[in-house]
Chain A
Amino acid sequence: MAKLLRGLTWMQRRRKSSKLVHPSVKVQRFYTNDTKTVDPKEVEFFGSEANNWWREPNILLAMNQTRVPLIRDAFMHHHIAGDVAQSRQLDGISILDVGCGGGILSEALVRLGATVTGIDAASGMVEAAKQHASVDPSLHDRLRYLNTTSSDLVLTEAERFDGVVSSEVVEHVSDLEGFLGDCVRLTKPGGSIFITTINRTWAAYVLTIALGEWLGPVPRGTHRYQKFVAPERLKQILQENNCETKFLRGQMYNILTNKWSWISNTSISYALHAIKT
């Protein structure tokens, strides 16, 4: 059944599945019993997007232009002393990429010298990420992918990572507080947490869903407005988990030039860096 459904578009699948399965039945398509923070519909959607994950031109690949320098500079500033203009700047730093997808961010961080663990609840994504990384000699060590969730990983690897990144993920989870709590628990004390996501404003709705999905390159059904998170809420939850926000800035995508850039306005897309005390 899963194989059959995977071949159809998201809209068709939705129509089809509503005929065959009663909506009250919760469908689980992955091995873990955890349904707390992970939304199964999201997992299924992203599993089917795995094949297209690395196709260029690519918004997420372009987002590395802002989020990789943010992560790199945050570590250089707070954790390591050294010149940015050197190779392997993040040597010795361990980073967890939660919701790594096809590994777009993970691979970039490995190339900067970090030891990266990428986790994703969708097994299709993890397979795509492993396959993509397997052919690149610069990624053969210091990178591993796991098909698991943050709440499962906390049980075995709490406080193991210098940095936890969750980029374009918090707008897809079902229990935000639980998810952020897991992320903080996975971070070492004094470690860094990085989040990039979309703000819960009408401007964000217009740009990311109306323009982005209906008219633009983002696959339909990627985002749902109800799940967008305002930065104040994120800061508050992190504060409750003893994390101090050090950086909060908006970023903007220019579709004509395929470039992301920092802006002061956080009303659409933004990035946040917090340090666990």
Chain B
Amino acid sequence: MQNFFLITANMMALSGLQHCGILTARAFSSSPTAPFSVLHHLRPISSSKKIVCTCHQKQISPRQQLSTDGPSGSDTAFYDVVIVGGGMAGGALACALGNEAVLADKKILLLDRAKRPSKLTRENLGSDYSNRVCALNSQSKKLLSEIGAWSAIENLRCKPFHRMQVWDACSDSMITFNHPDLVQELAYIVENDVTVSALTEQLNTLHNVEVKYETGLSNLKLPMVGRMDQNSWVNLTLKDRSNVTTRLVVGADGANSEIRKYGGFGVTRWTYDQSAVVATLHLAEETENHVAWQRFLPTGPIAMLPLNGSQSSLVWSTSHEAAKKLVLMSDDDFVEAVNHAFWDDSHHVASLDVVSQIFGDFLKVLQPDDSSSVRQLPPSVSGIQTGSRAKFPLGLGHAMHYVKPRIALVGDAAHRVHPLAGQGINLGFGDVVCLKEVIVQSALRGEDLGSIGSLTEYETQRQRHVVPVMMVIDALKRLYSTTNPAAVFARSLGLQATNALKPLKEALIGSASR
């Protein structure tokens, strides 16, 4: 989804955002020795939310210790970079590093706990779609093209969409995003399995990248800083009892990152009282299906992302109880519930309709009417792919720091967001681009790749981008979770106003594509 979370300039909810733990001093000054923000100890507004601030907690693993051993044995393999986590972010980073001519003499290792993914082809994909998809923006597409994985994705399957419509269940306000004349795509819907398969194929061609599947981590010894001996490297003990030493370990192992725990990174996180229900839907009629739809219900946003002319992917964030019911009910009841969610107007605030009508007329005077402000109707759903329903809980997470000496975090290990804006993987790919660039610059200067001096550049740049995005996504989630008339009023008029301001929308599209 595009960056419509910057929709309203009058985001009153932002002032309610007291979970300032995600702001660190380091985000806004690039001093490597800047102190931690003192704000992260503020209490949350609502005591029903679970806030966990673990910035000063002790190391999780009792076995994790600073090594005082002598030089390690000669049978310990030494790598320049070890990436833990073979998902989309980890795989993309491995490909990006392996692709760089400057790093041709470096040794890179990718560790993945899962089995080697089987190669996907058009033939073995079949007609069923996976229920886990992502909306990849133009920057992510650019990264995947540069590492040579995009053509494989296009050959398998992906669906570009040109327009997005977002509207409120409590009023008539809506906003649409598209490039002029619908020529350029806004983003691409790609199944996660397809992305991973394309990355795996690319990894096989890189001579300086080694991949170990079905390899978990049993221990990690942090480097001793300030001395230079064998213990100044990171030492990883794998589940098969072998040891690996490296200059730089990158944690790309997801929201429950082990590397983040071993590294003792403080993290601010809370769970939302929502779960996301995913499914693959069959549409009632075949259309061009190049529009992504999202409706904000008071219980949470429901989104339909196009997969092909007659199928779409569903991501419905709702309360835990509702999610449980949705996953257990029959297919027909589920289809009924989805259609009801998109079409039902019972939450409308009547008085607001009048006001928004007047406001809309006023805006039409300022800004001439054009096709983008015409409300389109979402397609209705006729069926659901069997066995495609699943749910997972939602939360927010942000590591206080993204780097420590010889450790870096990318993707969900560093930051976890609500799926309402479709930014999760795009932020992760943004991390990959930035970290790769920092490592390349470091190598061009003959530096020791894991030295903290250059790694802090990555953290500074990424936190400057990610923290505001996360705040706005969180704020949007809260703003649209309420039926309080005042909030509904403000957000509806704000949304209408933003929809009328073309330059603002173009800026939003631009910033979300980065």
Contact = CB atoms under 8 A, between A and B. Distances in A.
Given A57-B33, A135-B229, A87 B445 contact: no
Interface string B275-313: 000000000000000000000000000000000000000
B451 A56 contact: yes
Interface string B393-418: 00000000000010000000000000
Interface string A118-151: 0000000000000110011110000000000000
Contacts of B228: 54, 131-132, 135
A87 B453 contact: no
21 contacts: A56-B451, A56-B453, A57-B453, A61-B451, A68-B445, A69-B445, A72-B444, A83-B101, A85-B102, A85-B444, A87-B102, A108-B445, A108-B446, A110-B446, A111-B443, A112-B446, A131-B228, A132-B228, A135-B230, A136-B448, A258-B453
A65 B32 contact: no
A115 to B, nearest CB: 13
B205 interface: no
A138 B105 CA distance: 10
Interface in B46-87: 71, 78, 80
B80 to A, nearest CB: 8
A138 B71 CA distance: 16
A45 B289 CA distance: 74
B30 A257 contact: yes
A20 to B, nearest CB: 33
A137 B446 contact: no
Given A87-B104, A109-B446, A258-B31, 17 more contacts: A54-B228, A55-B226, A57-B32, A69-B444, A72-B446, A87-B103, A87-B106, A87-B443, A108-B447, A111-B443, A111-B448, A112-B446, A138-B80, A256-B30, A257-B32, A258-B32, A258-B453
A216 to B, nearest CB: 13
Interface string A63-84: 0110011001000000000011
A83 B104 CA distance: 14
A256 B31 contact: yes
A107 interface: yes
Interface in B105-137: 105-106
A87 B232 CA distance: 24
A88 interface: yes
Is chain B's binding surface mostly helix, strand, loop or mixed?
Answer: loop
Nearest to A65: B445
A112 to B, nearest CB: 4
Contacts of A110: 446
B452 interface: yes
B290 to A, nearest CB: 39
Contacts of B229: 131, 135
A254 to B, nearest CB: 9
Contacts of B444: 69, 72, 84-85
Contact of B71 (A61, A135, A258): A135
B358 interface: no
Contacts of A55: 226
Contacts of B452: 56
A58 B71 contact: no
B71 to A, nearest CB: 7
A86 interface: yes
B101 A68 contact: no
4 tightest Cβ-Cβ pairs between the two chains A and B: A108-B446, A111-B446, A87-B105, A87-B104
Interface of A: 54-58, 61-62, 64-65, 68-69, 72, 83-88, 107-112, 131-132, 135-138, 256-258
Given A54-B228, A108-B447, A135-B228, A85 B101 contact: yes
Interface in B219-237: 225-226, 228-230, 232-233
A72 B29 CA distance: 30
B453 A62 contact: yes
Contacts of A109: 446
A112 B102 CA distance: 10
Given A55-B226, A108-B445, A112-B446, A137 B31 contact: no
B168 to A, nearest CB: 44
B101 A87 contact: yes
Contacts of A83: 101
A192 to B, nearest CB: 17
Nearest to A88: B105
A54 B452 CA distance: 12
Contacts of B446: 64, 68, 72, 107-112
Contacts of B443: 87, 111
Given A56-B453, A87-B106, A110-B446, A257 B31 contact: yes
A54 B229 CA distance: 12
Max chain A Cβ within 10 angstroms of own Cβ: one of B32, B104, B456: B32
Contacts of A85: 100-102, 444
A125 to B, nearest CB: 14
Contacts of A132: 228
Contact of B445 (A64, A86, A135): A64
Interface in B24-52: 29-33
A111 B225 CA distance: 21
A258 B33 CA distance: 10
Contacts of B101: 83, 85-87
A132 B227 CA distance: 8
A65 B229 CA distance: 24
A138 B226 CA distance: 20
Max chain B Cβ within 10 angstroms of own Cβ: one of A57, A58, A65, A135: A135
A257 B460 CA distance: 10
Nearest to A128: B228
A88 B102 CA distance: 8
Nearest to B452: A56
Contact of A64 (B80, B100, B226, B447): B447
Nearest to A58: B453
Contacts of A111: 443, 446-448
Contacts of A256: 29-31
Nearest to B72: A135
A117 to B, nearest CB: 16
B464 to A, nearest CB: 13
A220 to B, nearest CB: 21
Contacts of A86: 101-102, 104
B13 to A, nearest CB: 34
A52 to B, nearest CB: 9
A163 B9 CA distance: 59
A76 to B, nearest CB: 11
A213 B233 CA distance: 32
Nearest to A61: B453
